[in-house]
């Protein structure tokens, strides 16, 4: 479970997020919608402890982030599959190696790393690109690779910032389908986007963020 309780995180001049309460439980698919500068990335970064709240509490599993020791951050993040807007792919490693790196960091055996990496690369549709380098992939494929890497450790939730940014409509809809298949297999979702219309009929819960304030929640049925 992910829960934000009255979370405020401000930069100078009052920018940031203010008094946000939000819960992402098992089976939830939450989409944060808002214009550029609304605070979407700030909210997501607060969840994965890229920075700490100024006030309020963020709970991820059994971890309470406001008072947590920095040493615990890596362990807490294993509950989350994190895809930053920048993707942060390792350019001099192949598709396979980008994903297998996670298993190496976690100290998995070669066999376990290989099996988990191939399984997740198959799920995202990159099985035929194992030896390609990130720069040889399309933007959509690069995003699939970042998703594969986030999923290899089987996290409770996928947290993704602008999953559809800078993609043409067809490619974006392909990513939406992939996200739906990941959600259908039990991974909770917390996404930030300004292109909510592309999520169509999927069972998303939409929260609108305006100048740092969460102003509205609605369910998929009300999107139409």
Ligand X SMILES: Nc1ncnc2c1ncn2[C@@H]1O[C@H](COP(=O)(O)OP(=O)(O)O)[C@@H](O)[C@H]1O
The option from Mg ion, ligand X, none interacting with 34 (CB < 5 to 8 A, set by class) reads ligand X
The interface partner of residue 153, options being ligand X, Mg ion, none and the CB cut-off 5 to 8 Å by kind, is none
What is the Cα 63 distance to its own chain's centre? 18
d(CA 185, CA 201): 17
**Contact with ligand X (CB under 6 A) among 2, 4, 16, 153:** 16
| Whole-number Å distance between alpha carbons of 183 and 188 | 6
Choose the stretch contacting Mg ion; rule: CB under 5 A; options: 14-22, 35-43, 51-59, 92-100: 35-43
Candidates 16, 41, 146, 152; binder of Mg ion (CB under 5 A) is 41
Closest by alpha carbon to 52, among 70, 77, 38? 70
Is residue 185 part of the contact set for ligand X (CB under 6 A)?
Answer: no
Q: Which of residues 31-50 bind ligand X (CB under 6 A)?
A: 34, 36-42
The C-alpha atoms of residue 187 and residue 184 are separated, in whole angstroms, by: 7
What is the Cα–Cα distance from 209 to 181, expressed in whole angstroms?
Answer: 26
* One of 6, 11, 23, 72 touching ligand X (CB under 6 A): 11
Which residues here bind ligand X, judged by CB under 6 A? Answer: 11, 15-16, 34, 36-42
């Amino acid at each position: 479970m992910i829960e934000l309780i009255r979370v405020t995180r401000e930069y100078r001049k009052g920018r940031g997020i203010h008094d946000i309460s939000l819960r992402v439980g098992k089976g939830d698919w939450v989409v944060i919608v808002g214009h550029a500068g609304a605070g979407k990335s700030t909210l997501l970064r607060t969840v994965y402890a890229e920075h700490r709240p100024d006030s309020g509490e963020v709970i991820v599993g059994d971890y309470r982030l406001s008072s947590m020791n920095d040493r615990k951050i890596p362990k807490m993040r294993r509950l989350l599959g994190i895809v930053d807007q920048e993707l942060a792919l390792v350019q001099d490693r192949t598709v396979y190696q980008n994903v297998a790196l996670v298993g190496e960091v976690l100290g998995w055996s070669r066999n376990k790393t290989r099996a988990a990496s191939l399984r997740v690369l198959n799920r995202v549709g990159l099985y035929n690109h194992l030896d390609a380098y990130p720069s040889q992939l399309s933007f959509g494929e690069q995003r699939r690779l970042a998703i594969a890497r986030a999923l290899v450790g089987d996290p409770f939730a996928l947290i993704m910032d602008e999953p559809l940014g800078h993609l043409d409509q067809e490619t974006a809809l392909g990513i939406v389908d992939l996200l739906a298949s990941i959600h259908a297999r039990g991974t909770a979702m917390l996404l930030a986007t300004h292109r909510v219309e592309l999520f169509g009929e999927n069972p998303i819960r939409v929260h609108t963020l305006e100048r740092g304030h969460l102003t509205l929640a609605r369910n998929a049925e009300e999107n139409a």
